[in-house]
Amino acid sequence: MVLGPLLAHFGIVPPIAGFVLFAIGGIVSVITGLVSLVQLVRGRRLTMGGGLGVLAGLAFFAIASQGSGYPRINDFTTDPADPPAFGHATTLPANAGRNMSYPAEFAAVQRECCADLHPAKVRAAPQEAYARALALARATPSWTVTHEDPTGLAIEAVVTSKLFRFQDDVAIRVRPEPDGTSRVDIRSKSRVGKGDIGANTTRIRAFVAALEATK
């Protein structure tokens, strides 16, 4: 359980390999913990290894249970009808051969689970709203801005998770509104897995809230 995250965090193995090692270690810990508890009930002494197995198994169960209740999609946006497109992200080696389009069936799932996702409304002209969004993206920890388009008012970034170093792609788009304000849409897509344990929606909500708070 410890080796997988460490190897992935320091780039010794790919993130998914580190996660697999973590999962295998967790399953072994759960089995070891259950066997140890059975032996304890039967009157046998709980060994140090058995005790560690129980603790590790409980920790793994607690971590794994965090993934329950989230939809099995890994691409979210503030505009399901017309999501920001990935342009530069398609040229990155890590995305070679990957379909970067937004699956149409995800829209209904997102509306059901995350109806609160909305674009940021910035009380500024589009160029100013773009500058604010770019500054926020640059200042957000774990974000790396990979593409800036001041003419098309678009931004792309890669977000790296702290532990396993998984990477997600983010696209931001600014459009003018009739009342003189600007609408800023954001899309966040995981590169690995069918689900994201809420990572993308949490990221979108945080960015929108922070951007709307800028002046």
Domain containing residue 131: CATH number? 3.30.310.80
Residue 21: per-residue pLDDT:
86
Name every residue whose Cβ is closer than 8 Å to that of residue 180 and which is 6 or more positions away in sequence.
125
- Strand 154-160, strand 167-176: pairing: antiparallel
The reply to whether the predicted model has a pTM over 0.85 is: no
- Output the pLDDT for position 47: 67
Tens-binned pLDDT, residue by residue, of the chain (215 aa): 788 888 888 889 888 888 788 888 888 877 777 777 777 677 777 666 666 766 777 776 666 666 556 888 999 999 999 999 999 999 999 999 999 999 999 999 999 999 999 999 999 999 999 999 999 999 999 999 999 999 999 999 999 998 888 999 999 999 999 999 999 999 999 998 888 888 999 999 999 999 999 87
Q: Are 168 and 188 in contact (CB under 8 A)?
A: yes
Residue 70 resides in a domain: no
In this structure, the answer to whether residues 193 and 87 fall within a common structural domain is yes
Do 146 and 169 share a domain, yes or no?
yes
pLDDT of residue 51: 66
Q: Are residues 97 and 45 in the same domain?
A: no
For residue 138 the two structure tokens come to: 């640059």
Domain end position, chosen among 38, 65, 92: 65
The pLDDT score that the predictor gives to residue 103 is 94
Are residues 90 and 196 both part of a single domain?
yes
Region at 99 (left for phi over 0; alpha for psi -120 to 50; beta for the rest): beta
Task: Report whether 7 contacts 16 (CB < 8 A).
Answer: no
3-class SS of residue 133: helix
**Pseudo-torsion of CA 134, 85, 178, 214, nearest 10°?**
-20
- The residue range of the domain holding 164 is 75-212
